[in-house]
């Protein structure tokens, strides 16, 4: 059974509320994957995951390049993943870069909520906002599994 990213199982959501380092995979302009460690927040009610980043980072540049290569609005197909021993969970979706003050503040608030401390000060901050399209996970995180 698939996991609905907008209505995850309690176990899946609980796993995403734990403090874990994650990875973000973005497409480079040549199509190869760029994978980096990040901190991720998951908001199933809004159907988004968020990653704080510097506006000059490669991950932000990759999302912007993919957006510009498309129709200008679609964004980049990305995935975020976290692993803890045998447990793992992946969220996939369409990313776009948000730089509006309210969006950055919301990303910072959610980061502090999940990771227990405010993010470091960064006046050049952006948020990679991922509109979720798919969720996957290890046994025990899916509907009907224990």
pLDDT tens digits for 120-131? 999 999 999 999
Q: Does the pLDDT value for residue 30 go beyond 60?
A: yes
pLDDT, the chain, mean: 93
The pLDDT of 113-141, averaged and rounded, is 95
The pLDDT of 50-67, averaged and rounded, is 96
Long-range Cβ contacts of 68-73 (<8 Å, 24+ apart): 69/29
Distance from C-alpha of 50 to C-alpha of 52, rounded to nearest angstrom: 7
Q: Does the pLDDT value for residue 71 go beyond 60?
A: no
CB 91 within 8 A of CB 47: no
């Amino acid at each position: 059974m698939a996991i609905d990213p907008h209505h995850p199982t309690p176990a899946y959501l609980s796993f995403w509320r734990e403090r874990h380092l994650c990875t973000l995979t973005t497409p480079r302009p040549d199509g190869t994957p760029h994978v980096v460690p990040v901190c991720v927040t998951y908001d199933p009610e809004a159907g988004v995951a968020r990653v704080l980043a510097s506006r000059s980072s490669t991950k932000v540049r990759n999302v912007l390049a993919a957006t510009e290569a498309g129709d200008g609005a679609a964004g980049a197909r990305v995935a975020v993943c976290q692993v803890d021993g045998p447990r793992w969970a992946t969220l996939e979706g369409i990313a776009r870069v948000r730089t509006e003050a309210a969006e950055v503040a919301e990303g910072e608030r959610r980061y502090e909520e999940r990771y227990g401390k405010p993010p470091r000060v960064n006046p050049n901050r952006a948020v990679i906002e991922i509109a979720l399209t798919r969720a996957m996970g290890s046994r025990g995180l899916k509907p009907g599994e224990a």
